[in-house]
Amino acid sequence: MKTVVAALAVGFAFITPTFAATPLVVYSAGPATLSAELARTFEAETGTPVELFQSTAGKIMARYQAEKSNPHADIMISASWGHALTLDAAGDLLAYSSPNAATVPDSLKTDSYVAQGAAALAIAYNPNSGLPAPQHWADLTQAAYKGQVTMPDPAKSGSALTLVQGLVAQDSDAAWSLFGDLAANDLLVPGANKAALNPVLQGARGVVFGAVDYIVIGAKAKGERIEVVYPDEGTVLAPRPIMIMKSSKQAEAAKQFVDFMLSEKGQALVAEHYILPARTDIEARRPGWDDLTIIDFDAARAAAQAAETKAKFAAVTAR
C-alpha cells in the first residue's frame, strides 16, 4: 500500500501543471537592440517574462491610444518627452519614484515618469559627399546644399518634433523662416529617423538636419562614413521617458523594471548604445552633459501646442 501511495505521489508530482508568470508588457521606441537586451537581462535577473512591442514613438503611442478601452501596456518607453507630459496630464500614469533615480537631473524626472536616457539632435554629415562641412543649422539653406538635405518628419519622430519645438521657442520667426528656406532648397522629409539617415549613408544625399546623435555615432562605430556636428548656436536634448501605465495589472513588476532600467547595469546598457545615460554618475560613450550647448524651453507648453506645431511644419515645408 505504501508503495502504491508513493507511486501515486510521484505521479501526481510529475504531472502537476506549472503556470508561467504573467508577462510584463513593454511598449518601447528604439533602438530595438537596446530594448531586447534590457528585456532579456530583466527576465534573467527577476524571472519575470517581458512581452515587447518595439516600434517608433509615434506608433507605440498610437497603439496605446487605440487600446484605451482594453489596455495592454504596463510600461511605455518613448522617444518623445511630450508623450509623457500628455499622458501624465490625462491621468494615465502611475506615480513612482525609483530609488535609483537619485543622480538623474531634476529636469529629467517627475513623480510619474523619468528619463531612461537622452539623445541630442545634430547635423549628420557624409564626408564623402564633397559638400563643405556645416557648422550651423542655417548653413544647410545655402546653395551648396541644394537637393542634399534630409530631415526626419516631426509627425513621425518625437525627437525631430523636439528640435522643431526648441528652435521655435528660441526664435519663432527665425525658425519658421529657416524651415521655409530648407524647403526651398529641396529638403527631403521621408519619414522617421532612419528614413532620413539612410539616403545620407547610401550617398544619395549628403546631410541630415536633426539627426538623432546616438544613431549616427553608432553607425560611425560600425564603419560608416558619417560625422556628427553639433551646431554652435545650440541644440535640444530629446529625453526618453519611461512610464508606468496606471492601467497596469503588473504594477510591482513594472516598478522593478524601472528600478532595473536606472540601475548601474541598466544604465550601462543604455550607454553601450551611445545614448546619454539619465544618471550623471554613469560614464557616457559620446558627448556628455557638459559637452553640449542645450536650448532650454518650456516642454509642457510645447507639448500642448504639438499638433499645431506639426501642422505648421508640414505647411511650411510643403512643396
Domains of the chain: 12-118+238-291 (3.40.190.10), 119-236+303-317 (3.40.190.10)
Average pLDDT for the chain: 91
Per-residue pLDDT band for 18 (boundaries 50, 70, 90) equals: very low
Q: How many CB atoms lie within 10 A of CB 111?
A: 10
Asked whether the predicted pLDDT for residue 239 surpasses 50, the reply is: yes
- 319 band by pLDDT with thresholds 50, 70 and 90: confident
pLDDT band at 3 (very low <50, low <70, confident <90, very high): very low
As a dihedral over the C-alpha atoms of residue 30, residue 36, residue 42, residue 47, rounded to 10 degrees, the angle is 140
Section 233-256 average pLDDT? 95
Q: For position 312, what pLDDT does the model report? A: 97
Torsion angle in degrees (nearest 10) through CA of 67, 89, 79, 266: -90
Residue 93, pLDDT above cutoff 90: yes
207-235 per-residue burial string, b: 16 or more CB within 10 A, e: under 16: bbbbbbbbbbbbbeeeebebbbbbbeebb
Averaged pLDDT, 237-255: 96
pLDDT class of 20 with cuts at 50, 70, 90: low
Quote the CA–CA distance of 162 and 213 in Å, as a whole number.
14
For the cut 80, the answer to whether the pLDDT of residue 226 exceeds it is yes
Question: What are 129's three cell numbers?
Answer: 559627399
* C-alpha closest to that of 247 among 110, 102, 94: 94
Would residue 142 be called left, alpha or beta, if left means φ above 0 and alpha means ψ between -120 and 50 degrees? beta
Going by C-beta distance under 8 Å and a sequence separation of 6 or more, which residues neighbour residue 175?
164, 167, 168
Peptide bond into 31 cis (omega under 30): yes
Q: What does DSSP say about strands 207-212 and 113-125: parallel, antiparallel, or unpaired?
A: antiparallel
The pLDDT of 277-293, averaged and rounded, is 91
pLDDT at 15: 37
Helix (H) / strand (E) containing 237: strand 237-244
pLDDT of residue 58: 85
Residue 213 has pLDDT above 80, yes or no: yes
79 pLDDT above the threshold of 60 = yes
* Residues 235 and 192: beta-carbon distance below 8 Å: no
How would residue 235 be classed by pLDDT, with cut points 50, 70 and 90? very high
Which whole number is the average pLDDT over 283-298? 89
Band of residue 254 on the pLDDT scale cut at 50, 70, 90: very high
How far, in whole angstroms, is CA 317 from its chain's centroid? 24
Chain segment 50-66, per-residue pLDDT in tens: 999 999 888 999 999 99
Residue 297 near residue 138 (C-beta atoms within 8 A) = no
The answer to whether 142 and 301 have CB atoms below 8 angstroms apart is: no
Q: Could you report the per-residue pLDDT of 138-151, keeping only the tens digit for each?
A: 999 999 999 999 99
In sequence order, the 6+-apart residues with CB closer than 8 A to the CB of 33 are 273
Residue 225: pLDDT above 70?
A: yes
CB neighbours of 186 closer than 8 A, spacing ≥ 6?
146, 147, 149, 319
For residue 54, what is the enclosing H or E element? strand 50-55
Average pLDDT over residues 273-296: 92
| Percentage with pLDDT > 70 across the chain | 94
Residue 227 pLDDT greater than 60, yes or no:
yes
* Biggest distance spanned by C-alpha atoms of the chain: 96
Q: What pLDDT is attached to residue 12?
A: 34
State the pLDDT confidence band at 17, using cuts at 50, 70 and 90.
very low
| Position 4 pLDDT exceeds 50 | no
pTM here is 0.84
